[in-house]
Amino acid sequence: MGKFIISKRNNGDFQFNLKAGNGQVILTSQGYSSKPSCENGIESVKTNAQDYSRFERNTAKDGRCYFNLKAGNGQIIGTSQMYESDNGMENGIESVKNNAPNASVEEEINN
């Protein structure tokens, strides 16, 4: 089962990573100024991950693939790692879709 890990960036912003059951990071959030905003972002991922139209597929300048998960308002709520192939990226999307809805939430915040 997947899990969301909330952490604090060096600049004080909060972020989350969605990890698959094997511990691999499959989605990383933007920075949030507050922990409640970060938690709202997690809820948005849980909701939007079930809608394939919310996944924006992209190709980086070096040819690798990645995706963004967007909210209904078009805002990016999470970005994937880089993948060597379209197939790898599609597997990553499936992993987010399968792991996000029931993922637990943990904190790794060092003050």
Classify 68 as helix, strand or coil. strand
pLDDT tens-digit series, residues 38-57: 999 999 999 999 999 999 99
| CATH number of the domain encompassing residue 92 | 2.30.29.80
> What mean pLDDT, rounded, does the chain reach?
95
> In the structure, what pLDDT confidence band is assigned to residue 110 with cuts at 50, 70 and 90?
low
Measure the CA–CA gap between 65 and 7, rounded to whole angstroms: 26
Measure the CA–CA gap between 84 and 110, rounded to whole angstroms: 34
Domain that residue 92 falls in: 3-107
> In the structure, what pLDDT confidence band is assigned to residue 1 with cuts at 50, 70 and 90?
confident
- What does pTM read for this prediction? 0.92
Number of domains into which the chain is organized: 1
- For residue 10 the two structure tokens come to 């060096």
